[in-house]
Structure 1
Amino acid sequence: MAAESMIKFICYGKGVAPSHWTFDHFPYVNRLYYVFGGTAYFTGGQMRHQLKPGHLYLFPYGIEFSAVHDGADCLDHLYFDFVTVPPLQMDRFAEYRVEPNTVVDHLTRALTLYLSDDHTARDEVTVRTLFQGLLAVFCETYGIERLNDSRINRVLELIHEKYGDNLCNRYFADLLHLDLRHFLRIFKQALKMTPNKYIREYRMTQAEAMLRKRESIQDVATRTGYESAASFCHAFKRSRGMSPSAFIKQNSPVE
């Protein structure tokens, strides 16, 4: 299965961020931004970097940082939060200046036009097709590699498909015909976290996507494999630092 076919969006869109816009980048999703204008920065440790108009930025899942903008000069951008199998192999952000009349320029323009139309007419298959091309060119330009371990990629595909089920490490180890300890070792080496943590945090990324669509907390809890809304709310707050209700209030769609 082609790597690009396994992209799943948490959210995407085009617009000017509200004046109160800010976010903490959790290390379980990737972000791709194209900046049209505004004054915005991302920070991590001692680093402070301005997001420049006419540039693409790829933030991989394995890093942590925060972002903020000037409320008097709001960020205008394309944005995509996504997960993919095989995962990207990056340990820092990548920045790409988009030159006119290049493949990246045409793909960015196509996504901009499509996402600027009436949102009711958007087809996620079209968005994904255009985005796959953009990400592929970006990765080729920067020599960004994907995880080259078919065993772990198979496990990730199953997690992304069945994240609401009761998944266990023994099931994955048996599926791959591996000793349990060996499976746990190679998974943690590849993803920098245990399978249980990956499943838990992947459920949270999917919960975010559902909450952005204003699905009920009870429905989100059920679909992400939690026995009750209370247990889901506890897990979400422990992972994201806020309740699902607070997340909904903080993440109104960008207009």
Structure 2
Amino acid sequence: MDQIHYYQPQPDIRLIDANYQTFAFQRHYHLDFHIGLITKGAQTFRYRGHSHTAHAGQLVLMPPDELHDGEAWQQQGYQVNVFAIDPVSLSELADLRSPEQLLHFQQLIVHDASVFAVLQQAHQWLRQTQLSQLAQDCLPLEGFNLLFERYGALARQPVKRLGRQSLAELKSFLMAHLDQPVRLASLANLCDLSTTQLQRHFKATTGMTPYAWFAQLRLEQSMKLLQRGDAVADVAQQVGFYDQAHFCKAFKRQFGVAPSCVRQ
């Protein structure tokens, strides 16, 4: 049976402690950087056209905005501890000084027992409610330092263009209109493209149609709002679902749990 628990020890850091037996993630992306520690079993996933398998004791370093899926490699399933970290906050932890710099990792899957042990302990400690606030504030830096030192690298922030707009600018526009109906023609006008051009360029850039990408954006934001403590009915409206039942169905299909099961 799938068992999934969510925690939010800090505003920009979310934790997942999960045992996935049958649930399979469809193609999706994250707004945050996801660092997953496979603690039991193995997970297989497709990323940039290639299949990968991460086994117990390995880390998966999944950047934001990258399309991928995921499921158990074998019938016994897999267990995973995940850090979901805002990209800006992750760069701050790595002490990057320039907004043009982007932290990335030289490997998608890391097999390093010492790094794994440090991060697993940090994950366990951050889930403890009795931990002092000062300890919670210090743990992320202490836990990630070794990962940064051994596998971190710097690159310039890539700009993905869609006509006269960047994908980042288009995302900001959509984030500001999550609760509103958005027309393809409006997005095309923003980018100074025809609707057909926008659809083709968007699919080539993201791997998804504008509609599917926007639907994913709504669900990703809904998870953050739920972990912030917002009520399910309020979150559904904030992200553009005016039918709560439809929202709950879409959310469970995406994350494997009902919105009501998500807590701070």
Q: Give TM-score, length-normalised by structure 1.
A: 0.60
Q: Take 1:235 and 1:153, find their aligned partners in 2: how far apart are those partners?
A: 25
Within 5 Å, give how 1:2-81 maps onto structure 2.
12-13=14-15, 17=18, 23-30=23-30, 31-35=34-38, 37=39, 39-44=40-45, 49-53=53-57, 55-59=58-62, 61-67=66-72, 75=79, 78-81=81-84
Identity of aligned residues (%): 16
Shift of 1:159: 2.1
Q: Which one of the candidate residues 140, 143, 148 is aligned to 2:160?
A: 148
Q: Note the alpha carbon deviations across 1:198-233, whole angstroms, 9 max, x for none.
A: 111221222344455664332122111122324434
AA in 2 matched with 1:25: F
> Does 1:198 pair with 2:203?
no
Q: Which ranges of structure 1 fall in alignment gaps of 5 or more residues?
A: 1-7
Could you say which residue in structure 1 is the equivalent of 2:110? Answer: 96
Distance 2:180 2:139 in 1: 28
In structure 2, do the counterparts of structure 1 residues 236 and 78 end up closer, same or farther at CA, with 3 Å as the change threshold?
A: closer
| Deviation readout 1:121-153 (Å, 9 max, x if unpaired) | 499998998999868985638x89956336222
Asked if structure 2 preserves the Cα contact closer than 8 Å seen for 1:21 and 1:69, the reply is: no
Amino acid paired to 1:247: A
Which structure 2 residue ranges, 5 or more long, are not aligned?
A: 1-10, 89-101
Change (3 A) 1:211 1:24: farther
What secondary structure is seen at the aligned counterpart in 2 of 1:80?
strand
Shift of 1:253: 6.5
Q: CA RMSD in A?
A: 5.0
Distance 1:173 1:136 in 2: 43
Q: What is the TM-score when the length of structure 2 is the normalising length?
A: 0.58
Contact 2:232 2:259 in 1 (8 A): no
Q: How many residues align?
A: 225
CA separation in 1, counterparts of 2:248 and 2:262? 19
Q: How far apart are residue 57 of structure 1 and its match?
A: 0.8
Q: Write the mapping of 1:163-242 to structure 2, written as runs, cut at 5 A.
A: 163-211=178-226, 215-233=230-248, 235-236=250-251, 240=254
Contact 2:42 2:72 in 1 (8 A): yes
Deviations 1:93-116 (A, max 9, x none): 92113475xxx7899489548725
Aligned mates of 1:213, 1:227 — CA distance in 2: 20
CA distance in 2, matches of 1:228, 1:236: 12
- Name the one with the larger strand percent: 2
Matched position secondary structure for 2:200: helix
